[in-house]
Amino acid sequence: MKPARNRKRGNRPPGRNQPPAEQAAARPVGGERQRPAFRQGELPAERLPIILEVGPDENYALIDSGDGEKLERFGEYRVVRPEGQAIWPRALPQHVWQNVDAVFTGDTDEEGLGRWRFPRQPLGETWPMRHDGIDYLGRFTSFRHVGVFPEQASHWRHMAGLIGAAGRPVKVLNLFGYTGLASLVAAEAGAEVTHVDASKKAIGWARENQAIARLENKPVRWICEDAMRFAEREVRRGNRYDIILLDPPAFGRGPKGEVWQLFEDLPEMVALCREILSDRALAMVLTAYAVRSSFFSIHGLLRGAMAGKGGVVESGELIIREETAGRALSTSMFARWVAQ
């Protein structure tokens, strides 16, 4: 069988959050890799389904959704974006949906290009945002994203709790770290953080967020590298982490054009991450977006990879609860291993 990363890829569009400069990277030839072997050992306990919910607060709210769109509040701005899962009718009248600061128009495909329209007045690229006391920047980017995935707050709070309760130095690895919110939450909670992303632009945004958050004196290493290559190197170098966050896109590219395909590359990535977990590891948290799959799939993968490690694997969906009608919007699925 051909190694997964060398298989010929379809001509798919660049992954979500892959900034434009990186999209132009040459089509890659990945390194040789094997499918991970079945791991013997007792499986961790399991808990599922777990639904982790984010509700409205002063910094963020899913105000309403329906007819294929969602209306959200990010700090001072009200924003309308496409939302394929909102197949129900809107709860709020049209004039509320029109009285907004930014609307993403164009391609409704999760990975499609589009553009921002500002109905009231032209807006700059960024604006002030805050999460649990950490300041950062919201950002109108291509591919409809705004520099933060609010549903991830469930994971961030859980992680901050683990770091705080550990009562010892904790090392966190954030793979596919994007604008760095998870890294900053970990740093603020007292961890030593290694943040890896393939995009120079995203690393730049993350560093900007570190400055805005006034966390520049915290130990965060910002690394622009292919996540798989980095994990392989860490295995060889013998570096170990207590918490690993994995939030990969369905499709992406490393800085040297390395292709990341979730379904093909995730098994090896999870196996590598298991290798670089410390002896006193606390958690490994995996989230997957925009894929036609079930959380049972990543649950089975992670549980198998953690055989012999004890603990529990809990899996389910990350959802956001509407402020107005109280319906829940599913954003992604997750599986996380937690030591007990």
Ligand X SMILES: C[S@@+](CC[C@H](N)C(=O)[O-])C[C@H]1O[C@@H](n2cnc3c(N)ncnc32)[C@H](O)[C@@H]1O
Closer to ligand X by CB, 202 or 244: give it: 202
Tell me the C-alpha distance between 178 and 200, whole Å: 10
Judged by CB under 6 A, the residue of 44, 249, 304, 316 near ligand X is: 249
Q: Where are the alpha helices (DSSP H) in 146-275?
A: 153-166, 181-188, 200-212, 227-237, 262-275
Tell me the C-alpha distance between 111 and 85, whole Å: 15
Tell me the C-alpha distance between 261 and 259, whole Å: 6
18 is a contact residue toward ligand X (CB under 6 A) = yes
Closer to ligand X by CB, 65 or 261: give it: 261
Closer to ligand X by CB, 70 or 309: give it: 70
The CB-nearest residue to ligand X is 252
Nearest approach, Cβ of residue 289 and ligand X (Å): 6
Secondary structure element (H or E) that encloses residue 303, with its range: helix 295-305
Task: Give CA angle at 234 (228, 238), nearest 5°.
Answer: 155
Judged by CB under 6 A, the residue of 17, 126, 142, 209 near ligand X is: 17
Nearest approach, Cβ of residue 19 and ligand X (Å): 7
Closer to ligand X by CB, 17 or 315: give it: 17
| Contacts (CB under 6 A) with ligand X, residues 255-274 | 258, 260
Nearest approach, Cβ of residue 174 and ligand X (Å): 7
- Give φ, ψ of 158 to 5 degrees: -60, -45
Binding mask 132-151 toward ligand X (x if CB under 6 A, else -) reads ----------------xx--
**Half-sphere exposure in the Cβ direction for 299 (13 Å, CA):** 17
30 is a contact residue toward ligand X (CB under 6 A) = no
Binding mask 195-234 toward ligand X (x if CB under 6 A, else -) reads -xxxx--x-----------------------xx-------
Count of chain residues binding ligand X (CB under 6 A): 27
- Kindly indicate which of the ranges 47-55, 109-117, 254-262, 319-327 contains the residues binding ligand X, using the contact rule CB under 6 A: 254-262
Nearest approach, Cβ of residue 22 and ligand X (Å): 7
> Measured between alpha carbons, how far is residue 245 from residues 27, 78, 126, 242, 337 in Å?
27, 29, 26, 10, 11
Tell me the C-alpha distance between 335 and 171, whole Å: 20
126 is a contact residue toward ligand X (CB under 6 A) = no
DSSP conformational letter for 324? S
* DSSP codes of every residue in 174-210: EET-TT-HHHHHHHHTT-EEEEEES-HHHHHHHHHHH
Closer to ligand X by CB, 252 or 304: give it: 252
- Kindly indicate which of the ranges 11-19, 68-76, 80-88, 157-165 contains the residues binding ligand X, using the contact rule CB under 6 A: 11-19
| Contacts (CB under 6 A) with ligand X, residues 156-195 | 176-179, 181-182
Nearest approach, Cβ of residue 18 and ligand X (Å): 5
Tell me the C-alpha distance between 123 and 165, whole Å: 41
Nearest approach, Cβ of residue 85 and ligand X (Å): 17
Judged by CB under 6 A, the residue of 65, 141, 142, 152 near ligand X is: 152
Question: Among candidates 157, 200, 161, 156, which has minimal Cα distance to 174?
Answer: 156
* CB contact burial 131-169 (16+ within 10 A = b; e otherwise): beebebbbbbbbbbbbbbbbbbbbbbbbbbebbeebeee
- Interface contacts to ligand X, rule CB under 6 A: 15-18, 148-149, 152, 176-179, 181-182, 196-199, 202, 226-227, 247, 249, 252-254, 258, 260
